[in-house]
Amino acid sequence: MSRAAETPRWVRAILGVPLIWAAARMALVSAFLIGGLTKLSDFSAAISEQEHFGLHPGWLWAALAIIIELGGSALVMLGWQVWLGAGGLGVLTAVAMLTANDFWHLTGHDRFMALNAFFEHLGLIAGLVIVSIHAAGSERK
């Protein structure tokens, strides 16, 4: 039995709607869009955030985050150079999870919260890899 046959026809029909794919890509990058726009609207707070997590110079890290969050999100949503947009977002997410979610240094409730956030970010990176794989497969067809 083929893998496609394992998925009910009605589910394949829904997943085949182009609007669903576009909405899923937008949802995947929504946190990056919000983050980039928020940093852009209050650049001094963005600098402070970067420096709070030990990233210096803060202005450089804040500017890079804005460029990657907005530019990478645009590439993923447009379906153009998805590997580049998703890759940039994935690397940014990895840096963020290693600096902001260092559960290995924490105890109690703080450790619990950071551990959850760490693995949520890891799942987000996996989603970015999956969208890149899908885009690469679409290019081959």
**How many Å apart are CA 64 and CA 58, to the nearest integer?**
10
Residues 104-114 pLDDT 10s = 999 999 999 99
Closest-CA residue to 36 (of 75, 83, 81, 80): 75
pTM of the model: 0.90
- pLDDT of residue 4 exceeding 70, the answer is no
Quote the mean pLDDT of the chain. Answer: 94
**How many Å apart are CA 7 and CA 139, to the nearest integer?**
23
**Is the separation of the CB atoms in 121 and 93 below 8 Å?**
yes
Residues 39-96 pLDDT 10s = 999 999 999 999 999 999 999 999 999 999 999 999 999 999 999 999 999 999 999 9
Work out the end-to-end distance of the chain between its first and last CA atoms, rounded to an integer number of angstroms. Answer: 23
